[in-house]
Amino acid sequence: MVNIRSKGEIDRIGKSGRVVFDTLNLLENYIVPGSTGEELNRLAEEYIRSQGYVPAFNGYMGYPATLCVSINDAVVHGIPDRRQFRDGDIVSIDCGVVKDGYYGDSARTFAVGEVSEEVEKLLDVTEKSLYRGIEKAVVGNHVSDIGHSIQEYVEEFGFSIVRELVGHGIGTELHEEPQIPNFGEPGRGTILKEGMCLAIEPMVNLGLKEIYTKPDGWTICTKDGKPSAHFEHTVVVTSDEARILSNGTLDG
């Protein structure tokens, strides 16, 4: 079953989305050579708690941190550690928060200093593919229209879509129905209705789509060792356009 959220609930999800947005903006200032995932994780936790919110990932299925910090060939779910970022790295930061049971979730990939032209393109295309997907999150569309649109856009540039990890409904749980693959045929799956809240999150590899999980049990990496990017927003379906709840456009 896919939840339909009331105006009051959307407001709460939006407030959590707002805190995630502000957290990512804060962290952006520290995406420089020499910073570490551990430092970012500490800053994020402090900030989130100072706003009266709680980090949503810590403890989720045993995940051990506030943020996921995934460097270069790490696609998602990297555990923050003491490695220093270097010029030319890319760092994907995924953040979720909860307050009074309502969740927000968003991710961005940042460049550390100067990155190569093809990596720059990877970030640009991945972010734009998220917006291609968000455009399809309108009443009457099928859930698979989102992923179809993302895939079509990404593959045009010769990049590849990760298949094993998907977006998700969000609201009173971090992960709710429906699953939102970032690939596939249009016109399949749940028909979108006003008030559905979705976390759309393309993961795009510069090289081949295949991935593996590191021995830490969490970090997902590309098999070919090439970089991967991840952008995510929490949105609510409306009749004319999806409203983004994690981009700071909401009062909160």
| Residue 68 sits in the site that holds ligand MF3 (CB under 6 A) | yes
Half-sphere exposure of residue 245, counting CA atoms within 13 Å on the CB side? Answer: 30
Rounded Cα gap, residues 172 and 102, in angstroms? 5
Rounded Cα gap, residues 108 and 196, in angstroms? 22
Show contacts with Co ion in window 171-230 (CB under 5 A).
199
Distances (CA, A) of 206 to 18, 31, 151, 237: 30, 21, 13, 30
**Minimum distance from CB of 237 to ligand MF3 (Å)?**
18
63, 121, 152, 157: which one binds ligand MF3 (CB under 6 A)? 63
Binding segment toward ligand MF3, per CB under 6 A, in 28-36, 42-50, 53-61, 220-228? 53-61
Contact 51, 19 (CB under 8 A): yes
| Residue 77 sits in the site that holds ligand MF3 (CB under 6 A) | yes
Query: Of ligand MF3, Co ion, none, which one sits near residue 61, judging by CB under 5 to 8 A according to partner kind?
Result: ligand MF3
* Residue with the CB atom nearest ligand MF3 in the bound state: 57
Contact 115, 90 (CB under 8 A): yes
- Closer residue to ligand MF3, CB minimum distance, 92 or 144: 92
Chain residues in the site for ligand MF3 (CB under 6 A): 57, 60-61, 63, 68, 77, 94, 96, 105, 199, 201
